[in-house]
Amino acid sequence: MTIRAVEFRAVSKRYGAVTALETISLAIDRGTLVTLLGPSGCGKTTMLRLIAGLEQASTGQIMVEGKDVTLLSATERDVSMVFQSYALFPHMTVLENVCYGLRASGIRKSRAVELAQAKLSLVGLSGYGARLPSELSGGQQQRVAVARAIVLEPKVLLFDEPLSNLDAKLRRHVREEIHELQRSLSLTVIYVTHDQQEALAISDRIIVMSMARVAQDGTPRGLYEQPNSHFVADFIGDANIVPVVIEGRQNELASVRLGPLQLTLPHHGAVAGPAELSIRPQAVLLSRGTSGLSGRVERAAYLGSHMEYWITIAGLDKELFVIAQDVMAPLGVGDEVSLTFGRTGVALVPREHLELG
């Protein structure tokens, strides 16, 4: 049995009349990188702060490594956090910042400096110890914040949107550094972001949140290929959401009618009748034949590595957004095309999933 680093048992959080987190139960395994993903105001940061002990749960129990920490303060929990603003103490040097937690836990100074130096060189900042945070670049500050957090060897390491203050190029680099660090030290990392690409790139598991609840919980691949709701399909990657009719169900599969096309897909609990289909832009295959749905190219854009098309289909009041890899022989505006779907990237989405909860 894997050991659970963090466990939520029916935890909720309310601020007066506002519910920041509906009753949530979940467990996070040791040594994994789990991302809390969602739009702003969905409760993901609240969840992180509950784990850190910066907020107290209104109801329920929070366990860290099997120990009930619900009533413990942030100080008493064996959990470290890297803040969005990094929160480096501006009046202390880099070394003093990294030593801070060690000194607070009563480790004598020479030992603390030794440990801090080791972690600083781990993040590639040996020799920067005497500088003030204001004398470092954004990326360096971020690494100091990470060193300061991991030097305490916490049971759980929390990241609150750590890349949002970095520019786009640096983001990918730092993201990989964090991932590398997590793997090499076998850390349990919980990572909050609203950037779905970031989440897909580094997570072992993604918990998508919406309106104070968990919308879906799974691996990056599972979420992308089998979204269980309109919200998740739309939030992770691009998706065309198309109304369809389920004509029948057999075992795990449902037969779905979309215009003249008959598709067989896992039903995910959707019942016969009207439903929605999530179609990834890459899952649409365009050809000049007549075997599939017939459509017409409305707009086309050349993006170097691929083409983007907007296609109208008779009987559908919405344009389909399609990405095609063939940039050598692109389609032109006004071309009549035939659409079929690939094996992955098309999924049935039960209707009104979120509202039913």
Partner 1 sequence: MQRPPRFPLIWVAIGAAALLAVPWYGLDDRLSAPALFAGVPWLWPLALPLLLSLCAVFGRPRPHLLIAASAGGLLWLVLQGLLIIHRGWTYAWLIELTGGSGPTQPAMGWGAAVYALACVLLLAYGLACRGFCKGDVFVAATLLVVVGLIALFVFYPVLCILASAVRDNEGGFAPEQFLAKLLSPSIWSLACLTGAHGCGVAWNTVAVAALVGVLTTLLGLAFALVALRTHMPMKPLLRALSILPIITPPFVIGLALILLFGRAGMITMWIGNLFDIPRSRWIYGVPGITIAQVLAFTPIAMLVLLGVLQGVAPSLEEASQTLRASRWYTFRSVTWPLIRPGLANSFLIGFIESMADFANPLVIGGNFNVLSTDIFFAVVGASHDQGRAAVLAIVLLAFTLTAFVAQRFWLGRRSYATVGGKGHAGIPAPLPGGLRIACYGVIVPWLLLTIAVYGMILIGGFVVSVGRDNTPTLEYFWTAFSIEKGVGGWFLSGSAWNSFIVTIEIALIAMPFTAALGILTAWLLDRQQFPGRRTFEFLAMMSFAIPGTVIGVAYILAFNVPPVSLTGTGTIIAISFAFRNMPVGIRAGLANLSQIDRSLDEASLTLGARSFRTLRRVLLPMLRPAVVTALVYSFVRAVTAVSAVIFLVTGRYNLATVYIVGRADVGEYGIAIVYSAMLVLFMMLVLLLIQLFVGERRIGRRVDVPPIDAPATALAPA
Q: Is 299 in the site for partner 1 (CB under 8 A)?
A: no
Instruction: Output the smallest distance, CB 18 to partner 1, in A.
Output: 10
Q: Is 167 in the site for partner 1 (CB under 8 A)?
A: no
- Contacting range for partner 1; rule: CB under 8 A; set: 2-10, 100-108, 113-121, 348-356: 100-108
Q: Given candidates 10, 59, 68, 91, which one binds partner 1 under the rule CB under 8 A?
A: 91
Residue window 317-336: x/- pattern of binding to partner 1, with contact defined by CB under 8 A: --------------------
Q: Is 90 in the site for partner 1 (CB under 8 A)?
A: yes
Q: Is 71 in the site for partner 1 (CB under 8 A)?
A: yes
- Contacting range for partner 1; rule: CB under 8 A; set: 97-105, 247-255, 266-274, 311-319: 97-105
Q: Given candidates 86, 159, 235, 341, which one binds partner 1 under the rule CB under 8 A?
A: 86
Considering only CA atoms, which of 343, 208, 327, 232 is closest in space to residue 285? 343
Q: Is 162 in the site for partner 1 (CB under 8 A)?
A: no
Task: Give dist(CA 287, CA 339) in Å, integer.
Answer: 7
- Between residues 86 and 231, which has the closer beta carbon with respect to partner 1? 86
Q: Is 211 in the site for partner 1 (CB under 8 A)?
A: no
Q: Is 89 in the site for partner 1 (CB under 8 A)?
A: yes
Tokens of 310: 């907007």
Residue window 26-55: x/- pattern of binding to partner 1, with contact defined by CB under 8 A: --------------xxxxxxx--x--xxxx
Instruction: Output the smallest distance, CB 84 to partner 1, in A.
Output: 6
Q: Is 133 in the site for partner 1 (CB under 8 A)?
A: yes
Q: Which residue type does 213 have?
A: R
Q: Which residue has the tokens 């050598």?
A: 328
- Between residues 160 and 276, which has the closer beta carbon with respect to partner 1? 160
Task: Give dist(CA 259, CA 304) in Å, integer.
Answer: 33
Instruction: Output the smallest distance, CB 270 to partner 1, in A.
Output: 31
Three-state DSSP class for residue 62: strand
- Contacting range for partner 1; rule: CB under 8 A; set: 66-74, 223-231, 272-280, 318-326: 66-74
Residues whose CB is less than 8 angstroms from the CB of residue 175 and which lie 6 or more positions away in sequence, other chains included = 163, 198, 201, 202
- Between residues 161 and 276, which has the closer beta carbon with respect to partner 1? 161
Torsion of CA 118, 119, 121, 125, to 10 degrees: -140
Backbone angles phi and psi of 316, in degrees to 5? -125, 125
- Contacting range for partner 1; rule: CB under 8 A; set: 99-107, 118-126, 221-229, 313-321: 99-107
Longest dimension (CA), the chain: 77
Q: Is 59 in the site for partner 1 (CB under 8 A)?
A: no
Q: Is 71 exposed, middle or buried (0-12, 13-18, 19+ CB in 10 A)?
A: exposed
Task: Give dist(CA 5, CA 151) in Å, integer.
Answer: 18
Three-state DSSP class for residue 230: helix
Task: Give dist(CA 341, CA 258) in Å, integer.
Answer: 11
Q: Given candidates 84, 121, 282, 294, which one binds partner 1 under the rule CB under 8 A?
A: 84
Cα distances (Å, whole numbers) of residue 18 to 11, 21, 22, 58: 15, 9, 10, 12
Q: Is 267 in the site for partner 1 (CB under 8 A)?
A: no
- Do residues 331 and 300 touch, judged by C-beta distance below 8 A? yes
Handedness of CA 5, 10, 15, 20 (dihedral sign): positive
Task: Give dist(CA 228, CA 307) in Å, integer.
Answer: 28
Name the residues that contact partner 1, by CB under 8 A: 20, 40-46, 49, 52-56, 71-75, 77, 79-81, 83-91, 100-101, 104-105, 132-134, 138, 141, 145, 148-149, 152, 158, 160-161, 165, 192, 194
